[in-house]
């Protein structure tokens, strides 16, 4: 029986997740209708070309100053048809477009600026295919409270793996989540050896091609810290029952250990099109978009403990999750400032996590377990300002 096409809104459509989502759409003609796109505004020509190709009804850019350039690019790409495309612009444009709803809203924005779009998609009743882990980490209980059961479908590869391993099983049977980490480009090095690494070295991920922020986060293991909190929130598993293990091949994307000692792992070559496709079609699987493991070839999968001394970011995430409802927002905000400063060449690599640790240490934390959007945004503003002060002294 033919499937009804699902309508999609793609946030961050020009980025790594966004363009791979469009690859998935292309590979499945008739399965998806792209209704709306959103991006920051750094490449309006690419955004306009996407809008023309998929015949969308709305396009949003965060940078209001790029709205006219986007309209012009749309005219160039579509001719008179451009008049039919609504252009939304400004810091709230992504949330506005997400709030109009689609069957599925994919949040592929980078950073906690994705929080309002996440909340808007949930309020609209759309299924939220979530790549933007930062919005869940900083929003915490606020995002969980806004989501109906099953409304958030993880796209992050580890969390997609866990969701697949948990499918059909009872939560009481889960004893442990095993979150795999590639270890990044500096795996096996000492703290002294990574003190002077460059941005280019940090951006050379051994197994994944991704946007710059998540790539640097992988190198510092801040990505795994964010993912630990993400897993805790998505699957209601205490952080003490989440183990991070380094698996340099990035083929086993994570595992669930059950009470009887059985462990279920999800394996596939590192290619985000698989978890993206599953995020868009959940709970159904689509035909293969990315090649599976080739079992005719010899292969080795290795696992090793994380060097917590060289990479303290995961331990800091555990402490942040335990400290208060607003500590995770501080963890992320200070990191975002640190990554920007590192990529600008203003600080050293170790200063990123060092600054996160200092700002966390100065944060008192919310007294209540549940926080409001205003609490989160005020906490983030404080953490960013404090991180910037500390980073300026490095
Ligand atoms: N890439 C990957 O393989 C994976 C990514 N993720 C997560 O997915 C998210 C996206 O990552 P990735 O695709 O790599 O990042 P990219 O940097 O490649 O892309 C980010 C996208 O978000 C857009 N954007 C930035 N700011 C805004 C805004 N305010 N409103 C709307 N759009 C905005 C960018 O547009 P512009 O360039 O114009 O600013 C761009 O389209 C992150 O949270 C990341 O951690 C998770 C797992 C894997
Ligand atoms: C592909 C994906 O999900 C990334 O978040 C990935 O996890 C990065 O790799 P590591 O953080 O394990 O190095
Ligand atoms: Mn991941």
Identify the CATH number of the domain in which residue 134 sits.
Answer: 3.40.50.720
Does 188 lie in the same domain as 124?
A: no
User: Is the same domain home to 300 and 193?
Assistant: yes
8 Å CB contact between 135 and 336: no
Q: Are residue 103 and residue 29 in the same domain, yes or no?
A: yes
Q: Say if residue 147 is in the same domain as residue 208.
A: no
Tell me whether residue 43 is in a domain: yes
Going by the annotation, the residues of the binding site for NADPH are 14-17, 40, 132, 134, 211
Q: Is the CB of 184 under 6 A from ligand 2?
A: yes
Are residues 89 and 195 part of one domain? Answer: no
Spans of the chain, pLDDT less than 70: 1-2
Q: What are the Cα distances from residue 291, in Å, to 58, 125, 269, 334, 361? A: 33, 33, 7, 38, 45
| Residue 250 resides in a domain | yes
Give the strands of the sheet with 32-39, arranged side by side. 86-89, 58-61, 32-39, 6-11, 104-107, 127-130, 152-154
Residues 74 and 221 in one domain: no
CA of residue 109 to ligand 3 center, whole Å: 14
Site to probe by mutation for ligand 1, drawn from 9, 10, 14, 15 as the one with most ligand atoms within 8 Å of Cβ, is: 15
Say if residue 221 is in the same domain as residue 294.
Answer: yes
Work out which ligand 1 atom sits closest to the CA atom of 113.
29
Distance of CA 155 to the CA centre of its chain: 8
**Residue 242 CA to ligand 3 centre (angstroms):** 15
Binding residues: 14-17, 40, 132-134, 156-158, 182, 205, 211, 218, 223-224, 227
Q: Give ∠ CA 165-171-176 in degrees, rounded to 5.
A: 65
- Assigned domain for 382 exists: no
Residue 377 in any domain: the answer is: no
In a domain, 109, yes or no: yes
**pLDDT value of residue 1:** 60
Whether this model's ipTM surpasses 0.85 comes out as: yes
CA 2 – ligand 2 centroid, Å: 35
Last residue of a domain, one of 296, 323, 350: 323
Nearest-atom number in ligand 1 for the CA of 111 is 43
Instruction: Tell me the CA–centroid distance for residue 133 and ligand 3, in Å.
Output: 9
DSSP 128-195: EEE--HHHHHHHTHHHHHHSPTT-EEE-SHHHHHHHHHHTT--GGGEEEEEEEE---TTTT--HHHHT
Residue 310 lies in a domain: yes
173 with 190, same domain: the answer is yes
Crossing angle of helices 67-78 and 44-54, in 10° steps, is: 40
Query: Are the C-beta atoms of residues 227 and 159 closer than 8 Å to each other?
Result: yes
The whole-model pTM stands at: 0.98
Whole-number pLDDT of residue 169: 78
**Does the CB atom of residue 94 touch ligand 1 within 6 A?**
yes
* Residues 313, 164 share a domain: yes
Q: Which numbered atom of ligand 2 lies nearest the CA of 223? A: 11
With a 6 A CB cut-off, is 20 part of the ligand 1 pocket?
no
Structural domain total, the chain? 2
Give one DSSP letter per residue of 338-359, joined into a string: HHHHHHTTSS-HHHHHHHHHHH
Range of the domain at 287: 159-323
Residues 302 and 163 in one domain: yes
Are 141 and 173 members of one domain? Answer: no
User: Which of 323, 354, 378 corresponds to the end of one domain?
Assistant: 323
Q: Is 208 in the pocket of ligand 2 (CB under 6 A)?
A: yes
* Whether residue 131 has its Cβ less than 6 Å from ligand 2: no
Q: Does residue 153's CB lie within 6 angstroms of at least one atom of ligand 2?
A: no
Q: Among 138, 154, 170, which residue terminates a domain? A: 154
- Measured by CA distance, the residue closest to atom 15 of ligand 1 is 211
Residue 90 located in a structural domain:
yes
Q: Determine, yes or no, domain membership for 346.
A: no
Q: What is the per-residue pLDDT for 170?
A: 79
Residue 268 CB-density burial (10 A; 0-12 exposed, 13-18 middle, 19+ buried): buried
Residues 90 and 168 in one domain: no
> Can you tell me the distance from the alpha carbon of 269 to that of 253, in angstroms, rounded to the nearest whole number?
9
């Amino acid at each position: 029986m033919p499937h009804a096409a699902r309508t999609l809104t793609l946030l961050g459509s020009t980025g790594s997740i966004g363009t791979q989502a469009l690859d998935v759409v292309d590979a499945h003609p008739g399965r998806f209708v792209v209704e709306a796109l959103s991006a920051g505004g750094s490449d309006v020509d690419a955004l306009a070309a996407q809008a023309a190709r998929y015949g969308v009804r709305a396009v949003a850019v965060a940078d209001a100053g790029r709205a006219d350039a986007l309209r012009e690019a749309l005219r160039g790409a579509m001719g008179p048809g451009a008049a039919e495309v609504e252009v939304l612009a400004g810091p709230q444009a992504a949330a506005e477009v997400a709030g109009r709803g689609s069957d599925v809203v994919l949040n592929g924005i980078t950073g906690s600026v994705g929080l309002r779009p996440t909340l808007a998609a949930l309020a609209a009743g759309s299924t939220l295919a979530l790549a933007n882990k930062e919005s869940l980490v900083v929003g915490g209980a606020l995002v969980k409270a806004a989501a109906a059961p099953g409304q958030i479908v993880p796209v992050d590869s580890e969390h997609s793996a866990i969701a697949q391993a948990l499918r059909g099983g009872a939560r009481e049977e889960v004893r442990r989540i095993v979150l795999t980490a590639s270890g990044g480009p500096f795996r096996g090095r000492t703290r002294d050896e990574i003190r002077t690494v460059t941005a280019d070295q940090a951006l050379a991920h051994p197994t994944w091609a991704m946007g710059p922020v998540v790539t640097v986060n992988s190198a510092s293991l801040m990505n795994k810290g964010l993912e630990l909190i993400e897993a805790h929130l998505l699957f209601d598993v205490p952080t003490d029952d989440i183990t991070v293990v380094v698996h340099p091949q990035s083929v086993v994307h994570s595992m669930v250990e059950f009470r009887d000692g059985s462990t279920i792992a999800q394996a596939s070559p590192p290619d985000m099109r698989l978890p993206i496709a599953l995020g868009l079609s959940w709970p159904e699987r689509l035909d293969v978009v990315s090649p599976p493991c080739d079992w005719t070839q010899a292969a080795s999968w290795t696992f090793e403990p994380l060097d917590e001394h060289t990479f303290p970011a995961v331990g800091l995430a555990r402490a942040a999750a335990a400290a208060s409802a607003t500590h995770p927002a501080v963890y992320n905000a200070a990191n975002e400032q640190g990554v920007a400063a590192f990529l600008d060449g203003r600080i050293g690599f170790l200063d990123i996590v060092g600054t996160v640790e200092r700002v966390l240490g100065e944060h008192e934390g919310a007294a209540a377990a549940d926080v409001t959007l205003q609490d989160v945004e005020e906490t983030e503003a404080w953490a960013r300002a404090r991180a910037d002060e500390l980073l300026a002294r490095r």
